[in-house]
């Protein structure tokens, strides 16, 4: 919703422009372009316009659904330990009551150019909030997301009232993405959010004739924080993501 051309295309990228002149539109995702460039392409222009507003804020919650075809548990993803507002960002993430908090130090969510990383580097408490599934509007996800945002507002002293917190919050130090080595029909076995152990079967990939092509096994203990919801996958596509609890290597 921050990017009108992307919203019109129902895609995170402004597809009409990207298909017309793909090389000229790189970088194409405004999310990776902060603090932006007022003389850049459309993604950089959008990021620069938003940054002028964000720079005056006391805190930032960057709300996302995952890429279409993926589903996350409600999860607060912190901007990394080496930014000025790291501690305040973690306090905000835990106060939101998502039930899942990732404090990682590597990967795309802590890369420079990401909105919450640039904001936290500038001293503004910030995080990325992922919830639900791309391309869908679901009442349950909306209600959960609204509760988390209201908890954030209470933490920041913007509204009164007690926080609505889950029974347990899972703290994680990073993600482990698992990808298919064969294309085919995808079936995911554990439910989203499940605790899995090394050796557990996460997914099976079969041919259209029902022949088993690949079994995706959990290589280590973790939490199933993201699943792929597409019926079919190609070689190299991500099929599941484990969150790695603090205390586990």
| pLDDT per position as a tens digit, 82-124 | 999 999 999 999 999 999 999 999 998 999 999 999 999 999 9
Q: What pLDDT score was predicted for residue 21? A: 72
Q: What pLDDT score was predicted for residue 151? A: 98
Number of compact structural domains in the chain: 3
Q: Is residue 249 part of a domain?
A: no
Q: Residue 164: pLDDT above 80?
A: yes
Cα three-residue angle 150-161-130, rounded to 5 degrees: 20
Say if CB 219 and CB 78 are below 8 A apart: no
Q: How far is CA 20 from CA 14, 23, 30, 31, 153, in A?
A: 10, 9, 18, 21, 42
Q: Same domain for 98 and 187? A: no
Q: What pLDDT score was predicted for residue 249? A: 39
Beta-ladder partners of 214: 205
pLDDT band at 7 (very low <50, low <70, confident <90, very high): low
- The pLDDT mean for the chain works out to 91
Can you read off the two tokens belonging to residue 67? 């890429």
Q: Domain holding 228: CATH number?
A: 2.40.50.100
Say if CB 34 and CB 113 are below 8 A apart: yes
Q: Is residue 248 part of a domain?
A: no
Q: Residue 1: pLDDT above 60?
A: no
Q: What pLDDT score was predicted for residue 68? A: 82
Q: Same domain for 64 and 167? A: yes
- Write the pLDDT tens digit of every residue in 125-144: 999 999 999 888 889 999 99
**What torsion do the CA atoms of 154, 155, 158, 159 make, to the nearest 10 degrees?**
10
**Domain range enclosing 86:** 59-174
């Amino acid at each position: 919703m921050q990017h009108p051309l992307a919203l019109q295309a129902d895609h995170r990228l402004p597809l009409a422009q990207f298909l017309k002149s793909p090389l000229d539109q790189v970088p194409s995702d405004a999310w990776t372009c902060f603090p932006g460039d007022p003389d850049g392409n459309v993604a950089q222009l959008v990021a620069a316009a938003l940054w002028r507003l964000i720079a005056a804020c006391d805190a930032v919650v960057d709300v996302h659904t995952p890429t279409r075809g993926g589903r996350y548990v409600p999860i607060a993803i912190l901007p990394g330990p080496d930014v000025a507002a790291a501690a305040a960002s973690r306090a905000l993430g835990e106060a939101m009551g998502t039930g899942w908090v990732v404090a990682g130090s590597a990967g795309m969510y802590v890369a420079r150019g990401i909105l919450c990383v640039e904001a936290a580097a500038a001293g503004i408490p910030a995080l990325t909030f992922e919830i639900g599934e791309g391309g869908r509007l679901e009442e349950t996800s909306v209600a959960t997301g609204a509760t988390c945002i209201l908890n954030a507002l209470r933490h920041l002293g913007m509204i009164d009232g007690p926080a609505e917190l889950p029974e347990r919050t899972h703290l994680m130090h990073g993600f482990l993405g698992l990808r298919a080595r064969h294309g085919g029909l995808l079936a995911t076995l554990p439910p989203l959010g499940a605790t899995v152990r090394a050796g557990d079967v996460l997914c099976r990939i079969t041919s259209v004739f029902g022949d088993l092509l690949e079994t995706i096994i959990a290589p280590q203990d973790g939490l199933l924080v993201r699943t792929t919801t597409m019926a079919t996958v190609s070689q190299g596509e991500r099929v599941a993501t484990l969150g790695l609890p603090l205390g586990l290597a």
